[in-house]
């Protein structure tokens, strides 16, 4: 047994008062969860603390909160872990999730944001016809593959801190896009191309994600929403050759080809290439100019904050020839494969899982 | 006043399946749930769902296994319905999108489960319940125009009209505190189990027996209430479930001598004997000093014998549970488990169409109901099946019924009564006990005396305690005075439900003077078919005292035999 100090952000919409902080000291073993801490405070000190919860085992998806500023499930975070990340080294701070309006205390309005976005992606199977009399016969791996996205418990932790959503509240967002992969990756679905086109053409769709990794970090179930978004992009661009009006696909290709050519990003070349591909003429694509003008504020800001130096941006940043060769070898290996290899938790496991897996198990499994 | 042909209380598998079936049959439908539908406890079901879908299997074999698993207390007509309709239901789920895992030729893969004579459990890794629940919810979103959803609404009472029919419910919008009457031609209770009456339990905090108590309150009959399932593999640490799928994949149970002790108790099926048998074996090992872990109160579950790749693919969730909640890497070392409260076989008595006898317009399906397909002991992976088959049948039957009956005119008396009740709870001074304290004492008591091994003295003690707690609950106070998300006051109401359910359980357990299925009486250690192959029915006779009567077990093709695994 140890004592832990919890600081909860309270808010009572009926009081007319602003949110406030309330501290509780709870006594629990260190490997008990933050949720158990909150429930102890609720049972012993103040029954009015509002928090959604049921399973206590990271499966019902009710208890998404921010702990010490990071989104996650309260039942899936140990008290000692939380103490570790406490900013002052002793107080575990629990707040409601972000990007969604607060209803009361730790309870947010998920309908207004999260579920609306889920509904945006036509979240049901559109059957491949004819529907067979028995089950659809599909590759074994395909079902294991979409189990990773099926494992999403709709907790909203990824939505809470999605950078793109903060900037663009209309962004479809990590959870909904992961849900969309659940259908795009499902061989029984008949509408893959339509789904992809829809999400590629939507300016708030798959190309609106800024690769910030926050959703991967936040997700308690290994859904890795960002990875699913990248898969949607690959399938959209490479398999269905969908070239969207927002230039998301071309932009992505420009990134890839720049790194292949220079080993590092070359910002000044990025936009022109996004529009003209690798051809020299394409750089004069009229919309490239328009985009450049519209990006000026962002570029200026970046310059001001010292993120980019003018010389650095205009010149290609080259890396030593030996290193560049290494980079290009990666390209050769990856592009030389007959099939695209996709990382999947359920199929390939995590590195740590695989570390000691003896090769012979393959056969017996 | 919202009025619907069919009103469904609860949005777990049973409720959602009922809603979809009723809507498909053309009825106007609403579904009410005190939590968002995907938070319903069906989400926690891990291992899978049984159906004789394989061409080499036969539903009769499934039915026989179920009858035997029930220790000959299950009603065989209902079991026949469930098992014969199972393959069609599983294929339906597959067609609407459930991502059942496949074998190498791309067809449904099946895994072994306890008490089954062949592999017949379809699964999605070890998140089967979640996968099915989320896919049903996808369908509810698809059919949003035909099914009205009231998410985060708490039903406080069922309403019975003057003619005795069930006419609707009173419910509270948790978000605003507003109370409302819902009128309906039929009400389907699908509000799940009552595991929270025990501590520890594998059930979520929302499983508080609301539906069982609400039906009991208006005069419905409860059946098989003494039959409480203790699951053989729950974590010693905190009561979390390790799915039977683990043993289905080949995991072993070991005692302190490193012995696979199931050899002694079930030489043929070993770890895959039915749950009551395995739980008792474990408890015997522990009681006789061959337990492991701190104070020798556990048993080792050894999953390391399952190939690692298979574990990572098919038991991923328990790899995580082991790591996150017990600090054990199950692919490398055994994990400490013991029997823990898991499921309640009993519930609101119904026929095979979900109708509660004596109360026209009231249906029940899923864990809240007792058809009785599980009798004395439920087989693993038969509960998901039960929720879906009888959820669908109830939905269809209620939709049909709607064509012949008028929309009832419902008064507001019950609404006012419930509003008053809530006001009274909120207004209590702080002289009594805290709700959480009473709940704790109830859970601990039930788990001590109404567990794997039972005897008269302990059961009587439990009964006395429950009676006392019922008194104390009348003055138990809450802190929250508000209307928005007042979870505190709902907790007080739930406590009342749990106490009613617990009393029914204890009274039935005291009454059954034999050992059958999950009821093992140390003082009556044998099964006594002559006197006790019958259901115990419990009703409330006005004064809050349970009244006992009996009904026969329906037998069709399977005669009693000694139960050996
Ligand atoms: C950890 C675990 C693992 C399991 N694994 C398996 C398995 O592998 N295979 C298997 O067959 N079975 C399994 N079971 C059993 C099975 O999951 C349950 O019996 C089944 O899911 C119950 O479903 P249900 O629809 O009846 O109720 P639930 O899913 O519990 O739903 C109840 C619903 O009622 C609502 N509700 C309750 N009270 C009220 C109220 N007062 N007002 C409004 N709404 C209310 C709730 O919000 C919820 O929506 C498992 C159970 C547990 C606990
Ligand atoms: S990686 Fe993309 S989807 Fe994920 S949080 Fe960042 S911006 Fe949002
Ligand atoms: S993707 Fe992960 S974090 Fe996002 S809602 Fe699903 S489970 Fe939660
Ligand atoms: S309580 Fe269910 S996810 Fe935390």
CA of A330 vs chain B CAs: smallest distance (Å) = 28
Question: Does the beta carbon of A213 lie inside 6 Å of ligand 2?
Answer: yes
Cβ neighbours of B307 in A, within 8 Å: 361, 364-365
Q: A311 in a domain, yes or no?
A: no
- What's the gap in Å between A172 CA and the centre of ligand 3? 14
Q: In this predicted structure, what is the pLDDT of residue A259? A: 86
Q: In this predicted structure, what is the pLDDT of residue A320? A: 86
Domain with residue A35: its CATH number is 3.10.20.30
CA of B7 vs chain A CAs: smallest distance (Å) = 22
* Residue A191 contacts residue A182 (beta carbons within 8 Å): no
Q: A166 in a domain, yes or no?
A: yes
CA of B444 vs chain A CAs: smallest distance (Å) = 16
Ligand 2 pocket test, candidate residues A226, A228, A230, most atoms within 8 A of CB:
A226
A99 and A27 in a common domain: yes
A10 and A87 in a common domain: yes
The CB-side HSE value for A8 (13 A sphere, CA atoms) comes to: 29
* Structure tokens, A197: 């086109």
**H/E stretch holding B337:** strand B335-344
Q: In this predicted structure, what is the pLDDT of residue A266? A: 76
Q: A264 in a domain, yes or no?
A: no
Fold of domain B413-524: Methane Monooxygenase Hydroxylase; Chain G, domain 1 (1.20.58)
**A 6-45 → B contacts, CB under 8 A:** 12-14, 31, 42-44
In chain B, the residue whose alpha carbon lies closest to the alpha carbon of A362 is B309
Cβ neighbours of A149 in B, within 8 Å: none
Q: In this predicted structure, what is the pLDDT of residue A350? A: 65
Q: In this predicted structure, what is the pLDDT of residue A256? A: 84
Q: A9 in a domain, yes or no?
A: yes
* Residue B302 contacts residue B334 (beta carbons within 8 Å): yes
Question: Does the beta carbon of A34 lie inside 6 Å of ligand 2?
Answer: no
Q: A192 in a domain, yes or no?
A: yes
CA of B10 vs chain A CAs: smallest distance (Å) = 15
A195 and A118 in a common domain: yes
Cβ neighbours of B484 in A, within 8 Å: 12-14, 103-104
CB pairs < 8 Å spanning A and B: 187
Burial class from Cβ neighbours inside 10 Å (0-12, 13-18, 19+) for residue A45 reads middle
Question: Does the beta carbon of B10 lie inside 6 Å of ligand 1?
Answer: yes
* Residue B120 contacts residue B138 (beta carbons within 8 Å): no
Burial class from Cβ neighbours inside 10 Å (0-12, 13-18, 19+) for residue A46 reads middle
**Which residue minimizes the CA distance to atom 3 of ligand 3?**
A219
Are A143 and B102 in contact (CB < 8 Å)?
yes
- In terms of Cα–Cα distance, which of B88, B129, B107 is closest to B380? B129
Q: A294 in a domain, yes or no?
A: no
- In terms of Cα–Cα distance, which of B225, B497, B187 is closest to B364? B187
Burial class from Cβ neighbours inside 10 Å (0-12, 13-18, 19+) for residue A128 reads middle
The label of the residue with tokens 């125009």 reads B145
| CA–CA dist B14, B206 (Å, integer) | 16
- What's the gap in Å between A215 CA and the centre of ligand 2? 6
Fold of domain B233-340: Flavocytochrome C3; Chain A, domain 1 (3.90.700)
Backbone torsions φ then ψ of B106, nearest 5 degrees: 90, 0
Closest partner CB to A137 (pick from B107, B482, B485): B107
* 3-class state of residue B330 by DSSP: coil
Cβ neighbours of A104 in B, within 8 Å: 482, 484-485
| CA–CA dist B222, B539 (Å, integer) | 6
A54 and A31 in a common domain: yes
Domain with residue A195: its CATH number is 1.10.1060.10
Q: A347 in a domain, yes or no?
A: no
- What's the gap in Å between A161 CA and the centre of ligand 2? 8
User: Using H for helix, E for strand and C for coil, what is the string for chain A?
Assistant: CEEEEEEEEECCCCCCCCCEEEEEEEEECCCCEHHHHHHHHHHHCCCCCCCCCCCCCCCCCCCEEEECCEEEEHHHCEHHHHHHHCCCCCEEEEECCCCCCEEECCEECCHHHHHHHHHHCCCCCCECCCCCCCCCCCCHHHHHHHHHHHCCCCCCHHHHCCHHHHHCCCCCCHHHHHHHHHHHCCCCECCHHHHHHHHHHCCCCHHHCCCCCHHHHHCCCCCCHHHHHHHHHHHHHHHCCCCCCCCHHHHHHHHHHHHHHHCCCCHHHHHHHHHHCCCCHHHHCHHHHHHHHHHHHHHHHHHHCCCCCHHHHHCCCCCCHHHHHHHHHHHHHHHHCCCCCCCCHHHHCCHHHHCCCCCCHHHHC
| CA–CA dist B497, A171 (Å, integer) | 44
User: Mean pLDDT in each 10-residue stretch from start to end of chain A (365 residues)?
Assistant: 96 96 97 96 96 96 98 96 96 98 98 97 97 96 94 98 96 98 97 97 95 96 96 94 86 84 79 63 54 60 62 70 88 84 72 53 39
E-strand ranges in B239-371 read 252-254, 299-302, 335-344, 347-349, 362-364, 369-370
Closest partner CB to B141 (pick from A48, A119, A137): A119
* Structure tokens, B202: 């594998």
- In terms of Cα–Cα distance, which of B201, B203, B222, B202 is closest to B211? B222
Last residue of a domain, one of A41, A73, A108: A108
E-strand ranges in B209-331 read 222-223, 228-235, 252-254, 299-302
Question: Does the beta carbon of A73 lie inside 6 Å of ligand 3?
Answer: no
A129 and A12 in a common domain: no
Nearest atom in ligand 1 to the alpha carbon of residue B384 is 11
Closest partner CB to B95 (pick from A131, A186, A358): A131
Residues 6+ apart with CB under 8 A from B309: A349, A357, A361, A362, A365
A92 and A58 in a common domain: yes
Closest partner CB to A361 (pick from B205, B307, B437): B307
Last residue of a domain, one of A108, A124, A143: A108
Could you read off the pLDDT tens digit of each residue along chain B, which spans 565 residues?
Answer: 999 999 999 999 999 999 999 999 999 999 999 999 999 999 999 989 999 999 999 999 999 999 999 999 999 999 999 999 999 999 999 999 999 999 999 999 999 998 899 999 999 999 999 999 999 999 999 999 999 999 999 999 999 999 999 999 999 999 999 999 999 999 999 999 999 999 999 999 999 999 999 999 999 999 999 999 999 999 998 899 999 999 999 999 999 999 999 999 999 999 999 999 999 999 999 999 999 998 899 999 999 999 998 999 889 888 988 988 888 999 999 999 999 999 999 999 999 999 999 999 999 999 999 999 999 999 999 999 999 999 999 999 999 999 999 999 999 999 999 999 999 999 999 999 999 999 999 999 999 999 999 999 999 999 999 999 999 999 999 999 999 999 999 999 999 999 999 999 999 999 999 999 999 999 999 999 999 999 999 999 776 789 999 999 999 999 999 998 9
User: Using H for helix, E for strand and C for coil, what is the string for B48-113?
Assistant: CEECCCCCCCCHHHHHHHHHHHCCCCCCHHHHHHHHHHHHHHHHHHHHHCCCCCECCCCCECEECC
Eight-state DSSP code of residue B135: H
Q: Classify domain B3-227+345-402 by CATH architecture.
A: 3-Layer(bba) Sandwich (3.50)
Q: Could you give the residue numbers annotated as active site of B? A: 275
| CA–CA dist A32, B324 (Å, integer) | 10
Are A59 and B312 in contact (CB < 8 Å)?
no
Domain ranges of chain B: 3-227+345-402, 233-340, 413-524
Ligand 1 pocket test, candidate residues B11, B159, B191, most atoms within 8 A of CB:
B191
| CA–CA dist B415, B270 (Å, integer) | 54
Range of the domain at A10: 2-108
- Each residue of A346-358: pLDDT tens digit? 776 666 665 554 4
Cβ neighbours of A135 in B, within 8 Å: 53, 91, 94-95, 100, 107-108
Question: Does the beta carbon of B18 lie inside 6 Å of ligand 1?
Answer: no
A150 and A40 in a common domain: no
A137 and A66 in a common domain: no
Tallying the residues shown for chain A, one arrives at 365
Closest partner CB to A48 (pick from B94, B124, B479): B479
A135 and A53 in a common domain: no
| CA–CA dist B369, B274 (Å, integer) | 21
Q: A273 in a domain, yes or no?
A: no
| CA–CA dist A102, A20 (Å, integer) | 13
Are B482 and A14 in contact (CB < 8 Å)?
yes
- What's the gap in Å between A216 CA and the centre of ligand 2? 8
Nearest atom in ligand 3 to the alpha carbon of residue A153 is 7
In this prediction the ipTM stands at: 0.95
* Residue B360 contacts residue B27 (beta carbons within 8 Å): no
- Are the folds of B233-340 and B413-524 the same? no
**Ligand closest to the CA atom of residue A157:** 3
- For chain A, the domain total comes to 2
Nearest atom in ligand 2 to the alpha carbon of residue A162 is 5
- In terms of Cα–Cα distance, which of B496, B562, B532 is closest to B213? B496
Residues 6+ apart with CB under 8 A from A156: A61, A64, A97, A100, A108, A110, A113, A114, A175
* Residue B495 contacts residue B525 (beta carbons within 8 Å): no
* Residue A269 contacts residue A253 (beta carbons within 8 Å): no
Backbone torsions φ then ψ of B404, nearest 5 degrees: -110, -10
A234 and A125 in a common domain: yes
- In terms of Cα–Cα distance, which of A70, A226, A57, A88 is closest to A148? A226
Provide the Cα torsion B160, B163, B167, B169; round to 10°: -10
User: Backbone dihedral region of A48: left (phi > 0), alpha (psi from -120 to 50 degrees) or beta?
Assistant: alpha
Question: Does the beta carbon of A175 lie inside 6 Å of ligand 3?
Answer: yes
CA of A73 vs chain B CAs: smallest distance (Å) = 12
């Amino acid at each position: 047994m140890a004592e832990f100090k919890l600081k909860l952000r309270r808010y009572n919409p009926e009081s007319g008062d602003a949110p406030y902080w309330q501290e509780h000291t709870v006594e629990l073993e260190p490997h008990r969860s933050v949720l158990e801490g909150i429930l102890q405070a609720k049972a012993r000190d103040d029954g009015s603390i509002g928090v959604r919860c049921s399973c206590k085992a990271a499966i019902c998806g009710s208890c998404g909160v921010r702990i010490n500023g990071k989104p996650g499930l309260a039942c899936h975070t140990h008290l000692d872990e939380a103490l570790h990340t406490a900013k002052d080294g002793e107080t575990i701070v629990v707040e409601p999730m972000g990007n969604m309006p607060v209803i009361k205390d730790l309870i947010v309005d998920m309908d207004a944001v999260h579920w609306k976005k889920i509904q945006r992606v036509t979240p049901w199977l559109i059957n491949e016809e004819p529907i067979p009399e028995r089950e659809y016969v599909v590759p074994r791996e395909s079902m294991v593959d979409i189990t990773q996205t099926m494992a999403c418990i709709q907790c909203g932790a990824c939505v809470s801190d999605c950078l793109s959503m903060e900037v663009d509240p209309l962004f479809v967002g990590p959870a909904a896009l992961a849900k969309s992969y659940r259908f795009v990756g499902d061989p029984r679905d008949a509408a893959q191309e339509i789904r992809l086109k829809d999400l590629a053409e939507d300016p708030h769709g798959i190309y609106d994600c800024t690769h910030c990794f926050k959703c991967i970090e936040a997700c308690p179930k290994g859904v890795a929403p960002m990875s699913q978004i990248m898969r949607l992009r690959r399938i959209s661009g490479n398999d269905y050759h969908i070239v969207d009006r927002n230039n998301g696909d071309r932009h992505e290709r420009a990134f890839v080809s720049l790194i292949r050519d220079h080993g590092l990003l070359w910002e000044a070349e990025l936009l022109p290439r996004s529009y003209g591909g690798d051809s020299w003429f394409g750089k004069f694509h009229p919309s490239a100019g328009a985009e450049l003008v519209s990006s000026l504020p962002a570029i200026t800001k970046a310059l001001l904050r010292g993120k980019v130096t003018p010389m650095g941006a205009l010149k290609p940043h080259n890396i030593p020839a030996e290193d560049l060769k290494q980079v290009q070898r990666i390209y050769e290996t990856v592009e030389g494969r007959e099939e695209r290899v996709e990382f999947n938790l359920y199929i390939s496991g995590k590195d740590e899982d695989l570390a000691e897996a003896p090769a012979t198990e393959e056969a017996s499994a | 006043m919202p009025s619907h042909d069919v009103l469904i209380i609860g949005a777990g598998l049973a409720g959602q399946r009922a809603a979809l079936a009723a809507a498909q049959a053309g009825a106007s439908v609403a579904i009410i749930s005190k939590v968002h539908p995907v938070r319903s406890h069906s989400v926690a079901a891990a291992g899978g769902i049984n159906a004789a879908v394989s061409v080499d299997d036969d539903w009769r074999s499934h039915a026989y296994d179920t009858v035997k698993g029930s220790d000959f207390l299950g009603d065989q007509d209902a079991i026949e319905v469930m098992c014969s309709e199972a393959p069609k239901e599983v294929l339906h789920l597959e067609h609407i999108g459930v991502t059942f895992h496949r074998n190498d030729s791309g067809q449904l893969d099946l895994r072994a489960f306890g008490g089954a004579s062949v592999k017949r459990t379809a699964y999605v890794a070890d998140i089967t319940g979640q996968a099915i629940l989320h896919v049903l919810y996808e369908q509810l979103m698809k059919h949003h125009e035909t099914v009205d959803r009231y998410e985060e609404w708490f039903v406080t009472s069922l309403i019975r009209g003057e003619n005795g029919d069930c006419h609707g419910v009173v419910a509270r919008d948790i978000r605003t505190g507003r109370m409302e009457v819902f009128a309906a031609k039929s009400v389907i209770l699908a509000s799940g189990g009552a595991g929270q009456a025990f501590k520890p339990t594998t059930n979520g905090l929302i499983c508080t027996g609301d539906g069982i108590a609400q039906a009991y309150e208006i005069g419905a009959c409860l059946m098989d209430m003494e039959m409480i399932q203790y699951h053989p593999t729950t974590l010693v640490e905190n009561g979390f479930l390790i799915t039977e799928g683990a043993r289905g994949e080949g995991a072993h149970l070991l005692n302190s001598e490193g012995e696979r002790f199931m050899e002694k108790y079930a030489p043929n099926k070993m770890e895959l004997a039915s749950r009551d048998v395995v739980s008792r074996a474990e408890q015997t090992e522990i009681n006789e000093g061959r337990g492991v872990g701190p104070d020798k109160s556990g048993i080792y579950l050894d999953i390391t014998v399952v190939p690692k790749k298979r574990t990572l693919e098919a038991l991923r969730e328990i790899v995580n549970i082991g790591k996150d909640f017990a600090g054990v890497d199950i692919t490398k070392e055994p994990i400490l488990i013991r029997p823990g409260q898991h499921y309640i076989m009993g519930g609101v008595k119904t026929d095979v169409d979900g109708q509660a006898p004596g109360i026209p317009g009231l249906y029940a399906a899923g864990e809240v109901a007792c058809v009785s397909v599980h009798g004395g002991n439920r087989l693993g992976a038969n509960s998901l099946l039960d929720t879906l088959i009888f959820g669908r049948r109830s939905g269809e039957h209620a939709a049909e019924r709607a064509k012949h009956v008028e929309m009832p005119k419902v008064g507001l008396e019950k609404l006012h009564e419930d509003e008053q009740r809530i006001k009274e709870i909120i207004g209590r001074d702080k002289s009594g006990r805290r709700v959480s304290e009473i709940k704790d004492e109830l859970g601990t008591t039930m788990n001590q005396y109404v567990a794997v091994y039972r005897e008269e003295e302990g059961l009587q003690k439990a009964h006395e305690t429950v009676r006392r707690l019922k008194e104390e609950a009348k003055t138990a106070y809450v802190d929250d005075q508000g209307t928005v998300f007042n979870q505190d006051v709902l907790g007080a109401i739930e406590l009342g439900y749990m106490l009613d359910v617990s009393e029914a359980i204890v009274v039935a357990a005291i009454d059954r003077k034999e050992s059958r299925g999950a009821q093992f009486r140390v003082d009556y250690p044998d099964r006594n078919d002559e006197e006790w192959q019958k259901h115990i029915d419990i009703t409330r006779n006005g004064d809050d005292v349970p009244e006992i009567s009996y009904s026969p077990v329906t037998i069709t093709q399977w005669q009693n035999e000694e139960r050996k695994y």
